[in-house]
Amino acid sequence: MRRTKFLGLAVLGAVAAGCGGISLFSGRINGAFFEPTGTVFAFVDQLSPAPQLATNPSSRFIASGVYAYFDAAQDQASQNGTNLAELKQEIANHDWISLEWANSNELEVGKTYKTTLIRTTEEPFFRVVDPSATDVTAGFTARVGFRRAPVRRNAPYTCPSGSPRFLCQDYRPFGTRAVVEVTLNSVNRALGAQSTLTVKVTVEKAATDPEDALTGTLSGSLAADTVSERVAETNLATLGLYALFNVNPGTVIP
């Protein structure tokens, strides 16, 4: 199930709920929205990558949101080649977010979790924890992908003038630091149940960034439906999300 550009907000929410959760964000940075506003899903990582191996005592809790719509409770590898290729492309070409708690048994409703990420390449992805950050929550990390972030000179993106997809001469890069704060409003790890989260992403300048680097805050909420671990892990691999998130399947993320 993929997004169509003609969906209104009310219909968008209804469709998203049928596919695996809801995501809504507000705010812009240099005119660009943050839109991981399609399917949102969560799962508890209790098992090792292969079914015959021992369970993972840390029991991670992972919630992810992407722009495209698909049924997160179903194995997407069963789609035909054309549909699967289109879905993968839509995910890869738009915004996404992934949140991870190292121990699902220690989740606290009402608590705000914080991490600081850095962008280490020209790609518009914040996937590495800032080693210099001190105001962070142990056991929590995130990954954020801004597909419309102007991080390369003359990269194609929508310019402030509104003219779409041309080489902009008024290039300004995003800052290379992103502070992610997540408040757990409710947590339910049972299959088919929903957890709700409030999310704030603040893009900041690092000391080495140019003076006019773009900064700003994007706020939103996620309502993530819990799906089967095996289905979630299969879809993360099938849809290329492991690669986007820069995660090796089965590894513990520091």
Q: Where along the chain do its domains lie?
A: 9-245
| Interacting residues of 114 by C-beta distance below 8 A, sequence separation 6+ | 135, 136, 137, 140, 179, 180, 181, 182
Round to whole Å and give the CA distance between 223 and 117.
Answer: 23
Structure confidence at residue 120 (pLDDT): 85
pTM of the model: 0.81
Round to whole Å and give the CA distance between 191 and 91.
Answer: 24
Find the helix or strand (DSSP H, E) in which 125 lies: strand 125-126
Structure confidence at residue 147 (pLDDT): 77
pLDDT tens sequence for the chain (254 residues):
445 332 222 222 223 334 557 788 998 887 778 999 899 999 998 775 554 444 455 578 999 999 999 999 999 998 888 999 999 999 998 999 999 999 988 899 999 999 999 988 777 789 999 999 999 999 999 999 987 655 455 555 445 555 554 455 556 778 899 999 999 999 999 999 999 999 999 999 998 898 888 899 999 999 999 999 989 999 999 999 998 888 766 554 43
Round to whole Å and give the CA distance between 249 and 51.
Answer: 13
- Residue 116 CB coordination number (10 Å): 22
Structure confidence at residue 250 (pLDDT): 55
Q: Which two tokens stand for residue 97?
A: 């977010």
- Residue 34 CB coordination number (10 Å): 27
* The dihedral formed by the CA atoms of 229, 1, 94 and 113, expressed in degrees to the nearest 10: -40
Of 29, 51, 9, 43, which is closest to residue 229 (Cα–Cα)? 43
Structure confidence at residue 88 (pLDDT): 94
Round to whole Å and give the CA distance between 92 and 103.
Answer: 28
- Residue 117 CB coordination number (10 Å): 23
Round to whole Å and give the CA distance between 14 and 230.
Answer: 26
